[in-house]
Amino acid sequence: MNLDKIRSMTDEELRNYLKGLTDKKDNKCCKCGANGNFAIFIKNIKEYQQKKLCCLCNKCYEELLDYLEIDDVIWG
């Protein structure tokens, strides 16, 4: 994510960007807008709550894993 792009956004652009990040029904990648294959969930263990944070496409998901320096869980 390019933070300089976010810093240069107008108030309206930032509002739309944040709204897109928090749209729970949208299955588009929150980073690039492609069709999302992965839903990122946040789990609050103390409150026993789980919320959908966003969706990511394959490419952006791989970039996230690389950025975090972790490997994906192999299902199956």
What pLDDT, on the 0 to 100 scale, is given for residue 22?
Answer: 64
State pLDDT tens for residues 16-65: 877 766 666 778 888 888 998 888 888 989 888 888 888 899 999 999 99
Give residue 10's pLDDT band: very low, low, confident or very high (50, 70, 90).
Answer: very high
Question: Three-state SS across the chain?
Answer: CCHHHHHCCCHHHHHHHHHHHHCCCCCECCCCCCECCEEEEEEECCCCEEEEEEEECHHHHHHHHHHHCCCCCCCC
Q: What is the pTM of this model?
A: 0.60
Domain ranges of the chain: 3-68
